[in-house]
Amino acid sequence: MSNKTSHEVEDSWKDKLDTMEHYNALAKAYDTLYGQEQKMKIDFILKNLNLKKGEKILDVGCGTCILFENIYDEDKIFVGVDISEKILREGWKKFRDKTNLFLVSADAEHLPFRDKVFDTIFAITLIQNLPNPIISLKEIKRVSKREASIVVSGLKRRYTFKEFNSIIRNAIFLRESYDIENLKDYIAFSTP
């Protein structure tokens, strides 16, 4: 049982609805507005992460699938989750003919997957959009295999480096985190 009051729950859903509407409005322009910025983060992440053949990969807050454009291949299973259906449609246009990539409209606090399914989980530029990022990170932990890699980033304009690390530590095991000068996000590499 949750300890939240009905007012807190209502505020949480209002925040989620606002986020969904924001990204629905940006969907068609998202790649133009943020594609290069996201690519810089992804490049840094991929230099520090080894994806293996046969992995099940989850991207929570996948948006238009910019991450998948950079890591897609036939020997893995890719699942993207986002609360914005319109932004998912933009991502789907890039991968509609692929049989090993699935996009799901869902809330990051209630992922529609069994426990311990995914080998690598990404949450890039996600946590600042969540009413309670710790709940979502614990949900990510739930769907992660025991030895999974979890990569999380958060906007520097929203958190100090100390705050970002504290959020990660309150939900999952923080292996290492980075404050890279030319990136707009802090990046954490974690495990469940």
Name every residue whose Cβ is closer than 8 Å to that of residue 162 and which is 6 or more positions away in sequence. Answer: none
In which band, very low, low, confident or very high, does the pLDDT at 6 lie, cut at 50, 70 and 90? low
Contact 61, 123 (CB under 8 A): yes
Question: d(Cα 27, Cα 91) in Å, to the nearest integer?
Answer: 9
Question: Is the separation of the CB atoms in 170 and 134 below 8 Å?
Answer: yes
> 185 near 41, Cβ under 8 Å?
yes
pLDDT higher than 90, residue 31: no
Half-sphere exposure of 95 (CA within 13 A, CB side): 28
Judge whether residue 1 has pLDDT over 50.
Answer: no
Q: Which segment of 18-27, 105-114, 117-126, 164-173 scores lowest on mean pLDDT?
A: 18-27
pLDDT for position 20: 74
> Could you tell me which of 81, 73, 76 has the C-alpha nearest to residue 57?
76
Residue 2 has pLDDT above 60, yes or no: no
Interval 104-119 mean pLDDT: 97
- Residues 47-100 have pLDDT tens digits of 999 999 999 999 999 999 999 999 999 999 999 999 999 999 999 999 999 999
Global pTM reads 0.90
The chain-wide mean pLDDT, for the chain, equals: 93
**Phi/psi class of residue 52: alpha, beta or left (left: φ > 0; alpha: ψ in -120 to 50)?**
beta
Q: Is 112 exposed, middle or buried (0-12, 13-18, 19+ CB in 10 A)?
A: exposed
Amino acid at the residue 183:
L
List pLDDT tens digits, range 120-174: 999 999 999 999 999 999 999 999 999 999 999 999 999 999 999 999 999 999 9
> What domains can you pick out in the chain, each with its CATH number?
6-191 (3.40.50.150)
Asked if pLDDT for residue 24 goes beyond 70, the answer is no
Sheet holding 118-123, edge to edge: 101-105, 77-82, 56-60, 118-123, 144-155, 185-191, 173-178
